[in-house]
Amino acid sequence: MSIGAWNVRGLNKAVKQKEVIDVIRSNNLGICAMVESHVQVLNLKNVCVKTFVQWDWVSNNNSCEVGTRIIVGWNPRLYDVMLISQSKQVIHCNVKFCDSDYCMYLSFIYVASNYLERRLLWDNLKKHSLVVKKEAWGILGDFNVALKPSEYSEGCSKTPKGVEDFIDCLNFIEVEDLNTSGFQFTWNKTPAGNKGLLKKLDRVMANMKFISDHPLAHAIFKPYRNSDHCPAILNIPGGKVKWKPSFRFANFITEKEEFLPFIKEIWDVNIDGFFTFKVCQKLKILKKHCRKLCNKHWGAGKRIQQLRRELECKQYEIDLNPFDCKIREEHANILFDFNVACNDEKNFFSSELRLSGYRKGTIILSFFIEL
């Protein structure tokens, strides 16, 4: 069971949405919060449908003056999520596991940069702790403040304003950082430049009940990709929930020469049984062939995967060597190539979608009618 929170620095662009989808899939997330999304209310549904697809989602747009600060999506086949309250800086949820009666509280945070405004959130968390009482409670997100000098790449000669308020809040609500791995600094001031300060601003925290229920739970901070914050992954070891995936395939393969012949060949195979059983069995066979055809022609996707791996490697190197200008220059070049490749793929699939969207539905429907 994995739950994520990521400051994406804007979710309006298709490139960012694609990265969120990849983070969800590669980390097998069942719940994912996007903070600092900057999505306008009129465009919120469209962006969430593209990003979360068949997931349910909720946002705090009603509490924001401009845009949406926090969006939380979840897989309804795994979790039943109930919104308890929201504000400009936090969304509080109660999460029930669908395969059991176990429940926990989760709070997704995007803290304001001004220490005076942050006090509103600290008061909010203190009040919410009275609701949680002795139940399990996890807090994830961007806290926008480092707790100690070791959480700065260059150290810190004095305590920043507002740290005392933060510490007082943590003592009151009785939560602490979970064991972590991955990046030690979760925020990069200038990820595309040659110089920049690194800080630990993102955290995954929990109360004692949560730690007692899940003693092996831990947080992983992954490479920040095309954002300036690391995705924070809360990993809770446990039984893996399985479900039957639906039949899907990439739309662009309908234009390939071998698409129609292998569909006709499979659809002509004689399978004994009722009508629904025949359809399901043929779709299972088709799925394997569609996947092979997709992998054969999906060159741009492999290029993006290669660049993503190179990007993550460089980000790990920056985390270990914050002052190496050569590494930062190499990172900036790879990040540029990565964004160009993502845009090229987006343009390619947009054209394929317009050309083949109607045809795909007609092809599949015609074979169903013939059967």
Total domains present in the chain: 2
- CATH code for the domain in which residue 211 is found: 3.60.10.10
319: nearest Cα among 204, 217, 181, 148: 181
> For 311-345, what is each residue's pLDDT tens digit?
999 999 999 988 888 998 899 999 988 887 777 67
- Residue 245 CA to residue 355 CA, distance in Å, equals 26
313 and 176 part of one domain: no
- Residue 215 CA to residue 199 CA, distance in Å, equals 27
> What SS3 class is residue 366?
helix
265 and 190 part of one domain: no
Banded pLDDT at 276 (limits 50, 70, 90): confident
- Residue 163 CA to residue 146 CA, distance in Å, equals 8
Banded pLDDT at 356 (limits 50, 70, 90): very low
Domain boundary among 186, 202, 235: 235
Max Cα–Cα distance, the chain, nearest Å? 77
201 and 303 part of one domain: no
Q: How far is CA 8 from CA 48, 145, 210, 252, 316, in A?
A: 14, 17, 27, 28, 18
27 and 153 part of one domain: yes
How confident is the prediction for the chain on average, in pLDDT?
Answer: 84
110 and 177 part of one domain: yes
State which amino acid sits at residue 330.
E
214 and 256 part of one domain: no
29 and 81 part of one domain: yes
The answer to whether 207 and 174 are in contact (CB under 8 A) is yes
100 and 61 part of one domain: yes
According to DSSP, the residues that pair with 86 across neighbouring strands are 91
- Residue 8 CA to residue 69 CA, distance in Å, equals 10
Task: Name the residue range of residue 303's domain.
Answer: 244-371
30: nearest Cα among 270, 239, 214, 190: 239
150 and 197 part of one domain: yes
69 and 150 part of one domain: yes
Domain boundary among 235, 267, 285: 235
Q: What is the mean pLDDT of residues 179-201?
A: 82
> For 42-53, what is each residue's pLDDT tens digit?
999 999 999 998
305 and 162 part of one domain: no
84 and 159 part of one domain: yes
* Helices 325-370 and 299-320, packing angle to 10 deg: 150
> What SS3 class is residue 154?
coil
> What SS3 class is residue 273?
coil
Domain boundary among 208, 235, 262: 235
Banded pLDDT at 247 (limits 50, 70, 90): low
